[in-house]
Amino acid sequence: MPAAASFTGPDGTRWTLTAEQPATRFGLTCAAEDYKTHAATFPRAAFCRVFAGPGQGLPKLGRAPWPEWVSFKDPVPEATFDTWLYTATKPTIITFRHERDNDKAAAAQTKAARADHFARTRDYHDVIAGHVNRPLITHIPVQTLQWTMAKSTPGLAKGDGDWRTWWAGVGDGFGLDSYVDSWAKGYPDPGKWLGPQFEMAEGVGRRLWLAELGSVLLGGDTGPGRAAWIRDVTAMLRERGAAAAGWWCAIGKPGAKGEVRDFHLSDEPSATAWREVIERGN
């Protein structure tokens, strides 16, 4: 269990995370066609991300062999959302429009767009709060570390380090998708790299949930270096009382020049490290 840690929220409230907090849980994200192979490699994963993209509505629950962390993008009526929640039969994490902040369209970065997202997120939170399946449901809004920390340029809005821009004010934790710079020459110091993430979560008095955690192999590494970084960064997550982290075990979005970024734990050292982290934490 993490040691007790105290901090002051933005409203002056003093918060304390104590050793009674549940231990940090570790899961993963992989493509549906990879469930079988990943279930054999990581059988004790605490959760797996399940996505429903634009036009796909709400996904059918129970497809993954692990507890599911569901992310959906289509706004649905509250009554439809309420009915869907009845299909949850085991602990389920839910996110509406993860990485909503990371939309490059100018119209998506207006005050009106944020207000609409905040209203929908709060409405869904209210439905969850009053639902008979509330004990099974954890609601985690998810923002993007890279967008939040990046500087705005003419014609392209970024977070400029202010996590409050896309914080809706509700949720059972503070969720972030967090990736190491794929063009870095080496792996970052875990304490310095995780500093902003913990500051954001502590700023709203909630535990940190890394919905997506990932790094490609860097600096000519064939696996041992990433494995060591995985062990160090997860040790820091435990030490500081994070709630959860899931490795993005899949291909990432192409780079600016179409480069493929592969976050798969396809090398044995990295896969072994993440498996050991899961088995210790879950």
Encoded amino acid at 73, one letter:
K
Domain range for 261: 5-281
The domain total for the chain is: 1
Q: What is the pLDDT of residues 137-164, one digit of tens each?
A: 999 999 999 989 999 998 888 999 898 9
Contact (CB, 8 A) for 253 and 212: no
CATH of the domain at 175: 3.20.20.80
SS (H, E, C) 20-80: CCCCCEEEEECCHHHHHHHHHHCCCCCCEEEEECCCCCCCCCCCCCCCEEEEECCCCCHHH
pLDDT in tens, 242-256: 999 999 998 777 666
pLDDT in tens, 258-281: 677 899 999 999 999 999 999 987
- How would residue 49 be classed by pLDDT, with cut points 50, 70 and 90? very high
DSSP annotation string for 129-197:
HTSTTGGGEEE--EEEHHHHHSPPBTTB---TT-GGGG--S--SSEEEEEE--TT-SSPPPHHHHHHHH
Radius of gyration for the alpha carbons in the chain, expressed in angstroms and rounded:
18
CB burial string 89-110: b at 16+ within 10 A, e below: eeebbbbbbbbbbbbeeeeebe
In whole angstroms, how far apart are CA 79 and each of 18, 116, 123, 126? 37, 18, 11, 12
Q: What pLDDT sits at residue 197?
A: 96
CA 69/CA 186 separation, integer angstroms:
30
Residue 107 is given by DSSP the state G
Q: Which amino acid is at 26?
A: F
Task: For residue 17, name the pLDDT band (cuts at 50, 70, 90).
Answer: very low
